[in-house]
Structure 1
Amino acid sequence: MEVQTLKYPAIRNYVAGQLTAATQAPTLEVYSPLSGELISTVPLSTAADLDAAVQAAKAAFPAWAAVPIKEKVQIFYRYKTLLEHHMHTLAGLVREENGKTYDEARAEVEKAIELTEFACSMPQLIQGEILEVSKGVECRIERKPLGVVASIAPFNFPNMVPHWTIPNALVLGNCLVLKPSEQVPLSAIKIAELLKEAGLPNGVLNIVNGDREIVEAICDHPDIQAVSFVGSTKIAKVVYRRATANLKRCVALGGAKNHLLVLPDAQPEMTASNVAASMSGCAGQRCMAGSTMVAVGGVDHIISKLVEEAKKIVPGQNLGSVISREAKARIEQHITDAEAAGATILLDGRNTQVPGHEAGYYVGPTVIDHVTPDMAIAKEEVFGPVLAILRAKTLDEGIALENASNYGNAAAVFTQSGSHARYVMEHASAGMIGVNIGVPVPREPFSFGGWNESKFGACDITGKSSIEFWTQLKKTTTKWNPESRTNWMS
C-alpha cells in the first residue's frame, strides 16, 4: 500500500517550548480549501494533553510575571521584526490552510503586526496610580496578571485572531494556552516558533490542538483563570456559560448579520465597490462581512453598479475559497432556499469551479434582491460571499430592519448626508459602526467587539479594553509616619 506524503509535517502540540505528541489521540486530516488536497494531520488531544500544557504554563508563570514589563516588550519588538521578515511564509500558510487570496493573507499578517505593535506600547498604558490620601498615608493601584489564561481561535483568521490575545495577554504577564481551530493548525505552530526565536521563555505560550473536548476542558480546568473565544454565536454561548459557571472570566465573540444601509444620495461608485468588497472579502468568512444590504428608497442605480462590481470578483483570482466542502454545500443551499422563497438572484455563484483546482471549495460572488425579513438568508449568518438585499421605504424602516437582528456586531450607512449618518450612528444597535465604510474594523488602540448576540462578557478582546480583561488590580495603602495626626482615613 502506497503511503501518501503530506505537504506539511503532521501537526503536534507545543508545550514548554517543544513540539510534543498528543497522548493516545486520534488524528484529523487537514485539507487545503484551495485544491481539496490533503496537506497535514492534526491531533484531537485529550484533557490530559491540555493539563500538561496548563502545568507548563503554571510553572512558567512566577518567573514570567516577575519580569518587568519594559523587558517583556523587548521580546515583542524582536517578534515584530520576525513577523515582517517571515511575511511571505506566514501569508503562504494562511492561504494554504484557509483558502484566502495571497493579498488577503498578507493583510491578515500585517494586522497581526499592528496588534503586536500595540502590545509593545503597554508600558505607557498601564502605569499605576498613587495618591497621598491623608498626611503620611498613600494609596497605590497596580495592575497584575491573572495567571494561566486560554484563547480559543476560529478557522477564518488563523494568524490574526491569535494575535488578538497572545501579545496583550503575555506582555501583561500572563501565560497562555492557545487552542487553534483544528481546520487551520499550521499558522499557530509557526507563531510559537517565531516567539521562541524572539526570546519568549518556555511555557509562557503553549498550544493544544483538538476539537470540542479541548474546548470543554479549557472551560472546566481549575487552573485556567480566563478564557477568550471567537466563533459562532451558538458555541460562544456555550463557552461563556460553561467558563463563567466555573468562575472564570470570559469574553466570547459570536457571529454576525451586518447590515449596510444604502441611501439614495450615496456616492454610487464608492458605495458599489465598498459593498461588493464587504460581502466578498475573505470569501465572506468574517464576522465583519456586509452580508445584508438595506436599500432605502430609490437606489436601483447603485444596485446595478454593485452587480457590475461583483462580476469583477473572480474565484481563484481575487476571490478565495471557503473553508470546506460542507461549507460550500451549506452556502449554496442558502442561495437555493432564498430563490425558492421568492427572492431574485441577480448574480449566482453556485456550482463554481476554478480551472486547475476543480476539487477546491469555491463559491462565486452572489447578489440576491427582494429578500424579505422572514427568509432564512435574512436572519442567519451565511458566512460566504453572498449579499442579501432587503428593501426599505424610509431610513427609520431600514434601521428597524437592522435592529431586528439578534446580532449586533457591525452596521454601516452609505450617504453624503451628515445628519443621516449621525442618525444611524445613534440608532443602530451594533458595537461597530461605519459611515461609507463597508468593514468598520477599529484600528489599534481602539477595541474590537460587538453587541447583542455577537459578544458575551465584559470588555472587548483587543485595544485598551483588553487590559481590563487580562489584568486584576492590586490596591496598597501605606503609612510610614507614626507622628502624623490620625483620622478616619488613617
Structure 2
Amino acid sequence: MKYDPLRNHVGGALVDADLPTLDVYDPSHGTVISRVPLSGAREVDAAVQCARAAFPAWSALPIKERVQVFFRYKALLERDVDTLAALVSEENGKIESEARAEILKAAELCEFACSLPQIATGELLEVSRGVECRVERFSLGVVASIAPFNFPNMVPHWTIPNAIALGNCMILKPSELVPLSANRTAELLLEAGLPAGVFQVVHGGRDAVEAICDHPDIAAVSFVGSTATAKVVYRRATSNLKRCLALGGAKNHLIVMPDADREMAASNIVASMSGCAGQRCMAASVMVAVRDVDPVIARMVEVARAMVPGRDIGPVISAAALERIVRYVDEAEAAGATVLVDGRGVKVPGKEGGYFIGPTIIDHVTPDMRIAREEVFGPVLAIVRATSLDEAIAVENASPYGNAASVYTESGAVARRVFERASTGMVGVNVGVPVPREPFSFGGWYESRFGVGDITGKGSIEFWTQSKKLTTKWNRAAGVNWMS
C-alpha cells in the first residue's frame, strides 16, 4: 500500500485502536492504497469527551480571535494546493484541474468564515424608554459533520470553518471511501493554531454514523449523501432531539429553449454532466429539449466525443458504481432510447484496472424511464423531448428531488418563468452548475434536503448557533410597565 493504515485523529494526535478495517482504493487503477478503521460508539465517545474538554476555552474566545486560525489555515491550503489536490485525485479519481478547484473552493469557504465577525453580529434596540433588548448568538457545543465521497476536501469545508469559527467543537466522519484528505485537514488545522480537541476525525461506516446520531453530547449533525441515507440520519438524529440538516440526492434538469446560444449551451451542458465524472449533486442529469434544439444536441455530441477519459474525465468511485451506471444506460437503450454518445467499455491505457466510463448522452428518453427519474451519479445525460416550456417545467416539477434546475435561453421572460416555477432551491440561467457562491447559501428542497436552513453561507449561522436575548433597564426613572 502507498499509505500506512489510517488512524482516527483525536485530541490533536493519531490514536491506535484495535478495529476492523476496510480497504481504500485508488479508483483510477483499482488498487488498494490504504486501509481505514471502522470505528463504533466507543471511538465516537472518546472524540466527544475530548471535544467537550476543549469547548469551554474555545467558545470563550471572541469570534475575532477564533477566525484568525482560518486566516492562517486558508494560507496553508493555498500553500499546499498541489499536494492536497494530488491526494484528492488519488482517493477520489478526479482529474488534476478538478482536484485543484476543489481545494481552492475550500479556501474560499474559509474566506467566508473569516468574515463572520462582520456578519454574525448581535442586535440591539431600545424597545421602551430606558429599556434595551439585545440578541447575541452562542455556540452549541460539540457538533458533527458526516461527509460524502464525491468531494473529499471541499464538502467537509462546507461545515468545518463556519461551525468552528462560531465557537463549536467539531467531529468529522468522512466517507470511508475517501478518508485520506480528512486526516490531512486535521494536521493543517493544528499547524494553523487550532487547539487540540476542537476538530477531530473519526473514521468508519454505519456504526460510526449511528453512534454520532445517538450520542447525547452531540448537539447538531450535518450530513451530505444519498437521499435514502439522509432520511435515515435525519430521523435518527432528530429522534434523539438533535438539530440535523441532511442533504440528499438530486435529479437536476436543464431546460434548453430554441433560442439558446448553441456553443455556450452545448459546452456548458457537457461540462455539467461530465465534470467530476458526474459524481456531484449539481451535475446536469436530464436535459429537457423544447421543440427544435437539434443543433445544440449535435454540438453537444461533438464536444462529448472529443473528451478523452483519463485526461478530461476521471473514473467513478468504485467497481460497484460503474456497474450501476452501465446498468442504467443498458436499461434505457433496451427501452427504446437512443445512445448518441456511448461511454461504456472504456479502457484507459496504463489504467486498465480503473473504473472509467466516458461521457454518455442518451436521446428520446421518456419521463417514466428509471434513468429519467433516479439519480445515476455518473457522466450520463438523458434527453427528454418537450413541445413547450410549460411541458418542460412539468417534467421538472414531477421529480421528487428539488436540488437545482437551469434554463438556456436568450429571453428574460422565459428565464423568470423558470425561476418562479421550478421546484428547486437553486436555479440557473445559462449556467450548467448553478451553485451559489458565498455569502449566498447552498441548499435544495424536497427530497434533496431534510431539515431547516442551509449548510453554507449566511444561512449556516442559524444552524450552528443559538440565540440568547438580554433585556436591560438601568434607568431608575423609567416608568413602570409590563416589563418591570
Please tell me whether residue 233 in structure 1 is matched to residue 227 in structure 2. yes
**Which runs of structure 2 are paired with 1:467-486 in the superposition (5 Å)?**
467-486=461-480
**Which runs of structure 2 are paired with 1:205-216 in the superposition (5 Å)?**
205-216=199-210
Identity of aligned residues (%): 69
**Aligned match for 1:352, one of 343, 346, 351:** 346
1:134 and 1:489 in contact (8 A); partners too: no
Please tell me whether residue 9 in structure 1 is matched to residue 4 in structure 2. yes
Please tell me whether residue 78 in structure 1 is matched to residue 72 in structure 2. yes
Look up the match of 1:390. Answer: 384
Q: What is the rounded CA distance, in whole Å, between the counterparts of 2:120 and 2:40 in structure 1?
A: 37
Gap regions ≥5 residues in structure 1: 1-5
Please tell me whether residue 89 in structure 1 is matched to residue 83 in structure 2. yes
1:411 and 1:432 in contact (8 A); partners too: yes
Please tell me whether residue 176 in structure 1 is matched to residue 199 in structure 2. no
Look up the match of 2:256. Answer: 262
* Deviation per residue, 1:99-153 (Å, 9 max, x gap): 0000000000010000000000000011111222223322111000000000000
* Deviation per residue, 1:297-317 (Å, 9 max, x gap): 011111111100111221100
Q: What is the rounded CA distance, in whole Å, between the counterparts of 2:258 and 2:416 in structure 1?
A: 16
**Aligned match for 1:375, one of 369, 380, 398:** 369
Report the 3-state secondary structure (helix = DSSP H, G, I; strand = E; otherwise coil) of the residue aligned with 1:291. strand
Look up the match of 1:140. Answer: 134
Look up the match of 1:124. Answer: 118
* Deviation per residue, 1:432-453 (Å, 9 max, x gap): 0010001000000000000110
Please tell me whether residue 440 in structure 1 is matched to residue 440 in structure 2. no
Q: Report the residue type matching 1:27 in the other structure.
A: T
Look up the match of 1:453. Answer: 447
Q: What is the rounded CA distance, in whole Å, between the counterparts of 1:481 and 1:415 in structure 2?
A: 62
1:133 and 1:489 in contact (8 A); partners too: no
Higher alpha-carbon deviation: 150-159 or 12-21: 12-21
Look up the match of 1:315. Answer: 309
Q: What is the rounded CA distance, in whole Å, between the counterparts of 1:130 and 1:486 in structure 2?
A: 21
Aligned residues: 484
Look up the match of 2:270. Answer: 276
Q: What is the rounded CA distance, in whole Å, between the counterparts of 2:30 and 2:113 in structure 1?
A: 37
Q: What is the rounded CA distance, in whole Å, between the counterparts of 2:477 and 2:410 in structure 1?
A: 68
Moved segments of 4+, more than 3 Å: none
Please tell me whether residue 158 in structure 1 is matched to residue 160 in structure 2. no
Higher alpha-carbon deviation: 118-127 or 136-145: 136-145
Q: What is the rounded CA distance, in whole Å, between the counterparts of 2:479 and 2:446 in structure 1?
A: 52
**Which runs of structure 2 are paired with 1:416-427 in the superposition (5 Å)?**
416-427=410-421
**Aligned match for 2:93, one of 95, 99, 106:** 99
| TM-score normalised to structure 1 length | 0.98
Q: What is the rounded CA distance, in whole Å, between the counterparts of 2:215 and 2:116 in structure 1?
A: 29
Q: What is the rounded CA distance, in whole Å, between the counterparts of 1:26 and 1:218 in structure 2?
A: 19
Q: What is the rounded CA distance, in whole Å, between the counterparts of 2:480 and 2:68 in structure 1?
A: 45
Instruction: Note the C-alpha offset of 1:478.
Output: 1.7
Q: What is the rounded CA distance, in whole Å, between the counterparts of 2:9 and 2:128 in structure 1?
A: 51
RMSD: 0.8
Instruction: Note the C-alpha offset of 1:486.
Output: 1.2
Instruction: Note the C-alpha offset of 1:482.
Output: 3.0
**Aligned match for 2:38, one of 38, 44, 50:** 44
Q: What is the rounded CA distance, in whole Å, between the counterparts of 2:410 and 2:125 in structure 1?
A: 49
| TM-score normalised to structure 2 length | 0.99
Q: What is the rounded CA distance, in whole Å, between the counterparts of 2:346 and 2:150 in structure 1?
A: 21
Instruction: Note the C-alpha offset of 1:238.
Output: 0.5
Gap regions ≥5 residues in structure 2: none
Instruction: Note the C-alpha offset of 1:283.
Output: 0.1
Q: What is the rounded CA distance, in whole Å, between the counterparts of 1:293 and 1:415 in structure 2?
A: 13
**Aligned match for 2:27, one of 29, 33, 44:** 33
Q: Report the residue type matching 2:275 in the other structure.
A: G
